[in-house]
Structure 1
Amino acid sequence: MADELDDRLRDLARDTEPLVVLAGPQAVRARGERRRARRRAAAAGTAAVLALTVGGWQLLPRLEGGGTGTAAPAGSVSALPPEPRPSALQAQLAAALLPDTAMPYGVKWQWTGVTPEKASKYQPPCQADPVAPPDAEAIRTYTAQRTSAVATYRVLAYADPALAAEQTLLLRQLMQVHCGMSQPAGTPPTAPDAPSADGTSGFWGASKSYPGVTAWVECRGRFVAVLLVNAPGDPQTRYEGTGVDKCIALSLHRLAQGSTAADTEGPPTASGGTTFSYSC
């Protein structure tokens, strides 16, 4: 077969121009092998480029994330951004929130602080928010285990003592309107329109419109504390003699002094009375 092909190629060469020389069958087969080798090399190069491109796409999220992240699977939902970290002031206010044992009738009612998620279920029948938003705020909700009472305690920080005292006075007016809050017959802890020498002012009272609702509000320096207790239908609910006003005063005193419970000396009393034994 090869000899026949060789003879035909020689005859064809003789019939054509003398300058045209056809390659032999071995040369033709060699050129065919080279063409196939070039096609295989081109196909392999294309596959390598594709692999490098895909690898680069997968590596890109890691490079953008500082080298610590991983590429999210296709079709997955991006993770939510992390919650912002509380400021140092917010952490200071949160540490000043009263413990469960400081709530009114703590031993008898057995208060327990609830999580913020559960706290949304316990809305007071009346509420008065400050007119000016504070610079920072901390809040805790408590529920009594042996009665249906619910308490909400808020500590707010303002830019300066003058603004804090102004908001305390406005809170008193708002509570009188929205909650029917009345001042006690006796002398309140301090008069909101006449702050004491250390910048303390505040009030307490009971609601005439919502039986069982009592409130304590105190301002010291640039800090304001608001305690609202709702004990519907409980005849024992009172705003004086529970000791909670003294715990509020002590908490704000520590905040204003920038101290902690361990290094506070000479804790003040809200009404200027004698010392007390209470779990603050």
Structure 2
Amino acid sequence: MNFIKITEQDSNYNNLEEMSIREIITCINNEDKTVPLAVEKALPQIEALIKQVVAKLKNGGRLFYLGAGTSGRLGILDASECPPTFGVPHELVIGIIAGGDNAIRKAVENAEDSLTQGWIDLKERDITSNDIVIGIAASGTTPYVISALEKCNENNIISGCITCNKQSPLALTAKFPIEVTVGPEFLTGSSRMKAGTAQKLVLNMITTSAMIHLGKVKGNKMVDMQLSNNKLVERAVNMIMSELNISKFEASLLLNKYDNVRDSIYHGRK
């Protein structure tokens, strides 16, 4: 099959500069509505990769996200939200972006074109076959990501990917590819739009599903979340009240003592 970079194809809209604001946002919204349907078609691929993630994390391994530009930032965002949401160590899910931390805020010239730096970045974090690496690239052609996954394959490290082009070089390299074909962007080639939204939806699925299967959720509650602000403390108190059918005062006492929703519920039942 010939590889066609759909993410770079011409927008279905033209003369954008002549549109009113309402016309622009209506067209963007219409395009955005198609993204969940594209993700739905990839659910079997998403499930297959998540099973691998769960198996590695349960066995003491780590999940690495590797990307450049928007894709790299999305991986870092998802990784950074796991500790406060699920109470896991910062080293469990790790996001790496081409160009290093400076590239989170500002583009680093040519960083994504390196054929060696991706693997170097993984080796600096002592990557082993206990871990799993997911490359993220809307185009599926980013050298930084593809070359790193090739080295993962050589070193018996399970590789996955999230891309928005079918049969891309990245998808053909990854052992467990996820291909979400969202079509041309409203603004031609601006893959931070639909492609970025698709990637975020898939990332939500990966870590949320994995953490549920790691036992970090009870019922539908984040019982291991970090209590880092007043809003979260209030949410924690309400969770304890609801679970134990006790007063706010009693729930607050338990939370102050154990500093964790799960432990407060456990000891409150004794």
Q: Per the shorter chain, which TM-score range? A: under 0.3
What's the TM-score once normalised by structure 1's chain length?
0.24
Structure ranking higher in helix proportion = 2
- Greater Rg by CA: 1
What's the TM-score once normalised by structure 2's chain length?
0.24
